[in-house]
Amino acid sequence: MPLVTTKKMFEDAYKGGYAVGAFNVNNMEIIQGITEAAKKLNAPLILQVSKGARAYANHTYLVKLVEAAVQETGLPIALHLDHGPDFETCKSCIDGGFTSVMIDGSSLPYEENVALTKKVVDYAHAHGVVVEGELGTLAGVEDDVQVEAGSESYTNPDQVEDFVKRTGVDSLAIAIGTSHGAYKFKPGQKPQLRFDILEEVSKRLPGFPIVLHGASSVIPEFVEIINQYGGSMPDAIGIPEEMLRQAATMAVCKINIDSDLRLAMTAAVRKYMAENPSHFDPRQYLKPAREAIEGMVEHKINTVLGCADKA
Ligand code: G3H
Ligand code: 13P
Ligand code: ZN
């Protein structure tokens, strides 16, 4: 099976009350860990590549690794550009084998976001590629953009129909209180998501797939392992998994997870290195790192996404 778009995935996810996981990939071990988990659980999958990932690993290497994963697993996998910053980056990914792109115009004034998103949609659709747009801004860090807590803004449901109609996007990322990175809430702060906004958006866009970014849960166990083995991460708080599960039963069809993979991988490497200080073969410490990714993705499929056996 070749790489697929997210079109059918999202139709099925919407109807079935589950979401597809969109996991960020940067190297072979991450791709293998994620795809092994999805294969074991027969789950559909979105592998997403950021601008930073392309700069780190090279576009062609990532495409070929993902193609290898498709060949090895036989799963429906979409290859998606995460947070496309401009038309040129989206075009380069569309021309270079991706089946889905995000154009992130969320920090632009509304009319500029509409115009840029429409330009990407026109090009993408002419090449059989689907597009995710974004309305509302999340706090946190993504690539080189840092949005301070307090400067984020929730999605305005009054804008979503107009945005989708005028741009022709295939899915829409909205801001309802999630944020990028490991530090989503301050210590003592109670994590909250604006389900009222999600509900209002889905009323305005019946049947339309919604995307949640910044959806890592920052499971304390992994931060504790990192700190136990020489790390010094301050208190990190993520989105409770039961809230994400609830969102997945609603209009949310794609849930983005990166930080939880980073934490699992880093915890595994730190632990291995501390317990085996004389080892220096990268295969020795990358094996548990890959297994940690696999375990985390299995956990997400079962606990948050609900997409096991939906491939
Ligand atoms: O939202 C951003 C993703 O976590 C990707 O992060 O830009 O550091 O690759 P990155
Ligand atoms: P997290 O930092 O919460 O994993 O979010 C990742 C993301 O939204 C990628 O686009
Ligand atoms: Zn994101």
Mean pLDDT of each 10-residue bin along the chain, 311 residues long: 95 98 98 98 98 98 98 97 98 98 97 98 98 90 63 90 98 97 93 96 98 98 98 96 98 98 98 98 98 98 98 97
**Considering only CA atoms, which residue is closest to atom 5 of ligand 2?**
214
* Residue 82 appears among annotated catalytic residues: yes
Residue the block writes with tokens 């490497």: 269
What b-and-e string marks burial along 93-124, b requiring 16 or more CB atoms within 10 Å of the CB?
bbeebbbbbbbbbbeeeeeebbebbbbbbebb
What distance lies between CA 147 and its chain's CA centroid?
Answer: 18
What would the two tokens of residue 197 be?
Answer: 């906004």
- Ligand nearest to the CA of residue 215, numbered in listed order: 2
Ligand 1 proximal residues by C-beta, below 6 Å: 24, 50, 52-53, 82-83, 142-143, 180, 258
Q: Ligand 3: distance of its center to the CA of 275 in Å?
A: 34
pTM score of the predicted model: 0.96
- Ligand nearest to the CA of residue 300, numbered in listed order: 2
Q: Ligand 3: distance of its center to the CA of 53 in Å?
A: 13
**Considering only CA atoms, which residue is closest to atom 1 of ligand 2?**
214
pLDDT score at 1: 76
pLDDT score at 139: 72
pLDDT score at 148: 65
Q: What count of other Cβ atoms lies within 10 Å of the Cβ of residue 31?
A: 23
pLDDT score at 140: 72
Helices (H), the chain: 7-16, 28-41, 51-57, 59-73, 87-95, 110-126, 157-167, 195-204, 220-228, 241-249, 259-275, 282-300
User: Exposure of 139 by Cβ count < 10 A (0-12 exposed, 13-18 middle, 19+ buried)?
Assistant: buried
Q: Ligand 3: distance of its center to the CA of 47 in Å?
A: 13
Cα 30 to Cα 97: distance, rounded to the nearest angstrom = 20
Cα 299 to Cα 169: distance, rounded to the nearest angstrom = 30
Query: Nearest to residue 38, comparing CAs of 28, 48, 46?
Result: 46
Please compute Rg for the chain using Cα positions. 18
DSSP 214: S
Ligand 2 proximal residues by C-beta, below 6 Å: 24, 82-83, 180-181, 213-216, 256-260
Mutate to test the pocket of ligand 2, among 103, 138, 258, 304 (most ligand atoms within 8 A of CB): 258
Q: Ligand 1: distance of its center to the CA of 145 in Å?
A: 10
Which residues make Cβ contacts (< 8 Å) with residue 208, sequence separation at least 6?
164, 171, 172, 202, 251
